[in-house]
């Protein structure tokens, strides 16, 4: 290809999916509610991909984001990938407990050494 030759990209594959929808890869997590707890490690930039992978298996994902995590991933990207509002601050509504519809799993990502250390040092109830 010469410097003057234009790029020719093929058109995208046609799809009936909307912008925020994901193609299903399986049913392992059908209906499971997952709280994606995003911490402040550089790997946080990959969490929108993780959220979409969980959704491909049928999970309903809600992102909880620390202030430090927002240095590496935007709330807009997380809201787009989870199709739910991102929780950046806990309120009196206790979103993390969600008694009306409890979470089936809490996934901490990225699980940095600092985060694991803090969880291990937390007092037990």
Domains of the chain: 33-113 (3.40.50.1950)
pLDDT for position 65: 94
pTM above 0.75, yes or no: yes
Task: From 109, 117, 125, 119, select the one nearest 42 (Cα to Cα).
Answer: 109
The mean of the pLDDT values for the chain is: 87
Is 107 in contact with 36 (CB distance < 8 Å)?
yes
What is the model's pLDDT at position 120?
A: 80
């Amino acid at each position: 290809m010469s410097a003057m030759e234009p790029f020719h990209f093929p058109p995208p594959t046609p799809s009936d999916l909307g912008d925020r929808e994901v193609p299903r890869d399986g049913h392992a997590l059908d209906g499971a509610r997952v709280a994606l707890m995003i911490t402040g490690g550089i790997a946080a930039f990959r969490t929108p991909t993780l959220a979409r992978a969980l959704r491909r298996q049928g999970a309903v994902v809600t992102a909880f984001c620390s202030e430090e995590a927002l240095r590496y991933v935007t709330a807009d990207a997380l809201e787009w990938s989870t199709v739910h509002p991102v929780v950046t601050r806990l309120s009196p509504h206790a979103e993390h407990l969600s008694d009306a519809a409890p979470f089936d799993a809490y996934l901490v990502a990225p699980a940095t050494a600092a985060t694991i250390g803090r969880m291990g040092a937390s007092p037990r109830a």
